[in-house]
Amino acid sequence: MELDERRISAVIVRRFMDRLLDSMDLDVAIVGGGPAGLVAGHNLAREGFKVAMFERKLSLGGGMWGGGMMFNQIVVQEEGAQVLREFGVRVLDEGEGYYSADSVEAVSTLISSATRAGLRVFNCVTAEDVTMREDRVVGLVITWTPVEMAGLHVDPLAIRSRFVIDATGHDINVVRVVERKVPGKLMTPTGRAEGEKSLWSHRAEELTLENTREVFPGLYVAGMSANATFGGPRMGPIFGGMLLSGRKAAQLVSRALRGQGGRG
């Protein structure tokens, strides 16, 4: 059989379009493919919900690949180690409650587990805005990242989703959009994004979990985005809080979906 380039191209276009069309109406849209988003996406997809992840960059994994200062190792505490083990990541006991893992193994395993669980990934896609109905987030406005980078004047597209999770890390890009469009209405002490505080690993790990919640009707925050929204400190290259936050976000959203009579 002689290969036909047209056939190769047609398969790619058709498969991608089918998946995009089938993702116009989602249970959950996750913005950001770092560790928090990946765990949330994995857990929700595993439950049978229709979940898509929109990641601005070409590759998923966010800030986890580089470990700390590009030493590609990560540190977690006991509970984080347990999450990694559940995914099949090898974890080393470093003593006194510290555990380590190879960041490349950790990220690649999370990505593989999440996609195999049914998470639909749209990489190179930036969520630039949300859609709203009566002060509730009901979807995302998306565009190709290269369009945004080139500053091209091209209108975006929109998808519907019953819930959105902002897992965009330090930048809290979805929360910032909502803050701009509906000033003073976030479910934070000041009604605005509080901004992240300086590095304090211990406190940050605790607070990441506490801060993982709904911040505006239909919009949840997970991972570093939770601390940046609610004013918690950054934590540095310790990643248990990210994994546990992703898990908690999935639990909260799953409960909310079931409350609405969701699939699952």
Residues annotated as binding site for glycine? Answer: 234
Check binding of 234 to ligand 48F (CB under 6 A): yes
Q: Does 129 bind ligand 48F (CB under 6 A)?
A: no
Contact 164, 140 (CB under 8 A): yes
By CB under 6 A, the residues from 176 to 215 that bind ligand 48F are: none
Nearer to ligand 48F, 227 or 262 (CB): 227
3-state secondary structure of 145: helix
Of the candidate residues 30, 50, 62, 137, the single one contacting ligand 48F (CB under 6 A) = 62
For residue 131, how many other CB atoms are within 10 A of its CB? 16
Query: What is the residue-wise DSSP string for 89-148?
Result: ---EEEETTEEEEEHHHHHHHHHHHHHHHT-EEEETEEEEEEEESSSSEEEEEEEEHHHH
Name residue 81's amino acid: A
Contacts to ligand 48F from residues 153-172, by CB under 6 A: 167-169, 171
Rounded distance between C-alpha atoms, residue 45 and residue 192, angstroms: 31
CB of 256 to ligand 48F, least distance (A): 20
Binding mask 27-46 toward ligand 48F (x if CB under 6 A, else -) reads: ----xxxxxxx---------
Is 63 a residue that touches ligand 48F (CB under 6 A)?
yes
Residues contributing to the site for ligand 48F (CB under 6 A): 31-37, 54-57, 62-64, 126-127, 167-169, 171, 173, 223-225, 234-237, 239, 242
